Amino acid sequence: MTEIHLTGRAASPGLAIGPVTVLSAVIASRRVAGDPAHETAALKAAIEAATADLAALVEAEQGDAADILQFQVAMLEDEALAEGAFDAIEEGTAADQAWCSVLDAEIAGYRAAEDEVFRARVADLVDIRDRVLAHLNGADKPAAITGGSIVASEDISPSTFLAADWTRGGAILLAAGSSSSHVAMLARARGAPMVVGLGPLSWEGRPPALALVDGDAGTVIFDPEPETRRQFEQRISAANAARAIIDAGRAEPALTADGRRITVLLNIAAPDDLKGLDPAICDGIGLVRTEFLFEASHGLPDEETQYAVYRRILEWADGRPVTIRTLDAGGDKPVAGLTADGESNPFLGLRGIRLALARPEVFRMQLRALARAAVHGVLKVMLPMVAVPSELERARALLEEEIAALKAKGILCARPPLGIMVEVPAAALCAGDFKAAFYSIGSNDLTQYTMAAARDIGAVADLNDTGNPAVLELIARTVEAGRARGVEVSLCGDAAADTRLTRALLATGLTTLSVSPVAVARLKATIATVSP
Ligand code: PEP
Ligand code: MG
């Protein structure tokens, strides 16, 4: 047997070795009743059962994983999805055929979409199709993946991924797939190497027994020769040893090679992201994205819910500063019932602070919850998508009014400093004009607005580069404005965790970077290599 080398696209980094499990869809055949009323009832029951299965999985997950499964539940609950199938049943088509052809048309539309984000959702739709079909046809649920195996498949659904135990190793190899898919996001978060776009995986009836996966290079070797395997195992041992050294430095302060102290803060999307984390790994929290509160409660979490969440985060930080960002809905973060529908370009529309000021009742409630939470630690409040100073001043006026109202009622509260995100080029160019208590650079949006290259369109990914001199110049100007006004400037976009950019970012004068918890150890190790 000769070893087989394949090259695809890297979707999640890391090295893995293990037995190969080939996943293939098995859809049982079904006896058709022929009676439209019976077929309609069968399809409705199957959709309900599939929805209930996914809803049960949502319960068992948190954060991104729960959001991803919730997206599938929402699709199944959308009556418009199955409308065409029910029409076809009325005309005499069997329930499974009707459902399949409607979903296949929908899947084909997503597959052909120009936008990478839509193409990346194909696996979620295929999963919806097959789950309903399995209920209709009485087929068994898809087989669970054994921990530690290398899963080879055409594509894979988030729910199949989430059912496996990735703490035991393993990897994912996909003939198709996308590095922007939900599964790719989950694989990166759980440390499972993944390679996509490998092309047809045809084994002619004899699937390989073992695979070596390189998720950094996007390569795989099936059924390796003993010498190839030995060399690969040596690489895994070396990588594990290097990671252990990096992890050991996680709780140490970040110092450059020439001894400059760099402040490293955390970005979190929900308090659950802090579970099991030692606050000693960071100098505080640089960004709490509060959108999750609004997504989970369909538009309006009440004041008590918000206060409890903010307080929990402050208590975790144990005296370290915590920067909570007010609602940044809109753009790529729609919130049902809150954000505007049908904007021709949501990234340039009513989002961030613009939406907050347009919906003062929602904004005031959040400011009240924040002012009350401020007595439990060192809270800083940050406004997103600010373009002109008057937005900051209008927000400040609302905060003052809410603090006065709380005090009048004898409710304990404090006045947190109010800072701005610098993510619109206008704000970067005129940063000194804002009476902000601090600036935090949102490099994700600042880059897309400076380069006119959306953050979620794969075809322009090369242009969406924070290392471009134009973006670095805007960052340097913001740093200079902060220095002149004597206020802190941090950077909390994804570029802070991109260690290829660490040297360039520190060269702009930045001394504070905010990254997700998984990125802390690597960032600190990289900072230690930077000298002037
Ligand atoms: C940014 O734009 O860099 C940022 C941190 O905000 P978000 O990614 O939430 O838009
Ligand atoms: Mg942003």
pLDDT for res 33: 62
Strand, coil or helix: what is 133? helix
Any idea of the CA torsion for 461, 463, 464, 467, to the nearest 10 degrees?
130
| Ligand 2 geometric centre to CA of 138 (Å) | 46
**Reported confidence tier of residue 141, pLDDT bands at 50, 70, 90:** low
pTM: 0.69
Mean pLDDT across the stretch 217-233? 95
| Ligand 2 geometric centre to CA of 319 (Å) | 26
Residue 442, pLDDT > 80, answer: yes
Q: pLDDT digits over 100-113, tens only?
A: 889 899 888 888 87
Q: pLDDT digits over 236-276, tens only?
A: 999 988 888 888 888 899 999 999 999 999 999 888 889 88
pLDDT for res 158: 81
Looking at the annotation, which residues are catalytic? Answer: 182, 492
Mean pLDDT across the stretch 177-184? 80
Q: Tally Cβ neighbours within 10 Å of residue 400.
A: 14
Residue 226, pLDDT > 70, answer: yes
Residue 362, pLDDT > 80, answer: yes
Q: Is 498 in the pocket of ligand 1 (CB under 6 A)?
A: no
pLDDT for res 245: 83
Rounded to whole angstroms, the Cα distance separating 154 from 22 reads 9
pLDDT for res 28: 55
Q: For the chain, what percent of residues have pLDDT higher than 70? A: 95
| Burial per residue of 56-79, b for 16 or more beta-carbon CB atoms within 10 angstroms, e otherwise | ebbeebebbbbbbbbbbbebbeee
Host H or E run for residue 119: helix 116-119
Ligand 1 pocket test: pick from 423, 471, 498 the residue with the most ligand atoms within 8 Å of its Cβ.
423
- In ligand 1, the atom with minimum distance to the C-alpha of 446 is 2
Q: pLDDT digits over 39-80, tens only?
A: 898 899 989 988 988 888 877 776 677 777 888 888 888 888
Which residues have a Cβ under 8 Å from the Cβ of 258 and sit 6 or more positions away? 531, 532
Put the strands of the sheet holding 9-12 in their side by side order.
4-7, 219-222, 210-214, 15-22, 150-153, 171-174, 194-196, 9-12
Q: Is 442 in the pocket of ligand 1 (CB under 6 A)?
A: yes
CA atoms within 13 A on the CB side of 207: 15
**Reported confidence tier of residue 157, pLDDT bands at 50, 70, 90:** confident
Q: Is 291 in the pocket of ligand 1 (CB under 6 A)?
A: no
Residue 24, pLDDT > 80, answer: no
pLDDT for res 56: 83
| Ligand 1 geometric centre to CA of 384 (Å) | 8
| Ligand 2 geometric centre to CA of 218 (Å) | 29
**Chain centroid, CA 136 distance in Å:** 33
Higher pLDDT, 457 or 465: 465
Q: pLDDT digits over 366-401, tens only?
A: 999 999 999 999 999 999 999 999 999 999 999 999
- In ligand 1, the atom with minimum distance to the C-alpha of 493 is 3
Strand, coil or helix: what is 45? helix
pLDDT for res 142: 55
